[in-house]
Structure 1
């Protein structure tokens, strides 16, 4: 599955690449070249970042699912405990 950016995010990314080159490199980069570099990063490096993000989310979700029984656990057969406690208070 190719990684795509919406139009606004793509424009912001290209502007950021252009600024990075202006401020950190000896030569500036043009809009078309910055777009090409962005495309390269998205195709070449993007999947590794995406896959790591998916793995991180899976790990967090598994931890949440593991804690689910603690969060929503209900004690079974509690009627008589409640009844016995009420009877003790009346004595």
Structure 2
């Protein structure tokens, strides 16, 4: 699966990369180079982050699904119990 980001997010990421280079590296990076670097990271490292996020979501969903029976469980054959309780209370 190819990871894609919107044009707006891509531009924000490129701007952020350019700023990072200006503030932390000896030489600044140009817009085209920053875009290429971003493309590299998305293609090379993006799937690792994406797969980890999917695994985290699966884990949370499985935990929630395993709790569904506790949240929505109804005791069976309760009709006569309410009458038995009334009789005992008399």
TM-score band (shorter)?
A: over 0.9
TM-score norm. by structure 1 comes to 0.95
TM-score norm. by structure 2 comes to 0.96
Stretches of 4+ aligned residues off by more than 6 angstroms: none
Mean Cα deviation higher: 66-75 or 77-86: 77-86
Q: Which runs of 5+ in 1 are unaligned?
A: none
**TM superposition shift of 1:86:** 2.1
Aligned length in residues: 90
Instruction: Give the corresponding residue for 1:32.
Output: 32
Q: Which runs of 5+ in 2 are unaligned?
A: none
SS of the residue corresponding to residue 52 of structure 1 reads helix
State the superposition RMSD in angstroms. 0.8
**TM superposition shift of 1:84:** 1.1
Give distance in 2, aligned partners of 1:64 and 1:79. Answer: 30
Instruction: Give the corresponding residue for 1:62.
Output: 62
**TM superposition shift of 1:25:** 0.6
